């Protein structure tokens, strides 16, 4: 898989969110409605930092709670 694509970024973000929420996450899911909270957002941001070597601001989950929007925002942080 090409590691510069939105699909790659979304796959890593989906894996991190699914792991911390304990359930599958789909594009139209609202992370807050699924139970995301600030500590969980920090854990996901840490996982994405380890996977992608970028800083993901904690507030990104509150500003973009729909998963697809969150993944796109993370992808933009990568400069892609």
Average pLDDT, the chain: 96
* Topology of domain 6-77, CATH: 1.10.1200
Q: State the pLDDT confidence band at 80, using cuts at 50, 70 and 90.
A: low
CA dist., res. 50 & res. 47, Å (int): 5
CA dist., res. 9 & res. 66, Å (int): 15
| pLDDT single digits (tens) 50-61 | 999 999 999 999
Q: Are 77 and 13 in contact (CB under 8 A)?
A: no
Hey, where are the domains in the chain? Answer: 6-77
């Amino acid at each position: 898989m090409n590691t510069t694509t939105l699909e790659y970024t979304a796959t890593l973000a989906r894996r991190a969110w699914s792991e911390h929420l304990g359930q599958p996450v789909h594009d139209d899911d609202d992370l807050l409605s699924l139970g995301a909270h600030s500590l969980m957002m920090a854990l996901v941001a840490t996982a994405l930092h380890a996977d992608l070597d970028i800083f993901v601001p904690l507030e990104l989950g509150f500003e973009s709670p729909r998963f697809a929007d969150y993944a796109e925002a993370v992808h933009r942080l990568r400069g892609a």
